[in-house]
Amino acid sequence: MNRLVVFDCDGTLVDSQANICRAMDECFTRAELPPPDPARTRRVVGLSLVEAMEAMLPDGSPELHRTLAEDYKTAFQRLRGRGGLADEPLFPGVAELLADLDAAGWLLGVATGKSDRGLLLCLDHHGLRPRFVTLQTADRHPSKPHPAMVELAMAEAGAAPETTAVIGDTSFDMAMARNAGALAVGIAWGYHPPGELRAAGADYVAETADEVRNILERHPWPT
């Protein structure tokens, strides 16, 4: 079986919180709601949009949640049109980590709450799309922590749960990895604290991109 590493995007590969918070503020303002605290917005990063709005406004109607999700998409696209991708920089060491894993024979994938369009724009902006053999988004799957994204990534890459690692910054990523039977590797530079990652089932928590590389190298993978 092939070895596969599936990365989350927002909060793991790129620091997109500035754009996410601005888009959330815009969609709430359009709905004549007070903009949420940025810390609350960061709590739902990783969920699909409708599920994120449900978490933000649990007493809201399904119609409100769908409207907010659509308005969020529109706001995020406007930010990109104004050059907002400059506010989605790669985290330190990520480009080097991807290059090293690729060179070491790992297959790479992404599982994200972004749309297909948003993910491709982000990866193309950073010149990373060729690194990945499988891209899974909220357009075609249930929201995290459902394992569907990881399961299809493994099928497309010819990998098995015991030869797959999921790298992410939220408790949703860790629960998704566990639900898929994959190794769950949390990263401490994202949007959920290490304690929450461990509580959600993280097998390891890495402080840096170099530590992610070291974890994958020393983990006892099946031969």
| 34 CB-side CA count, 13 A | 4
Which 3 state secondary structure label does DSSP give 36?
coil
- State yes or no: is 124 an active-site residue: no
Give the single-character DSSP code of 129. Answer: G
- State yes or no: is 59 an active-site residue: no
Catalytic-labelled residue, pool 8, 15, 169, 173:
8
Residue 163's closest CA among 105, 214, 114?
Answer: 105
Catalytic-labelled residue, pool 10, 15, 71, 203:
10
Alpha carbon of 161 to those of 1, 63, 220: distances in Å?
10, 37, 14
SS3 helix, strand, coil % of the chain, rounded to 5? 50, 15, 35
The residues annotated with a catalytic role in the active site are: 8, 10
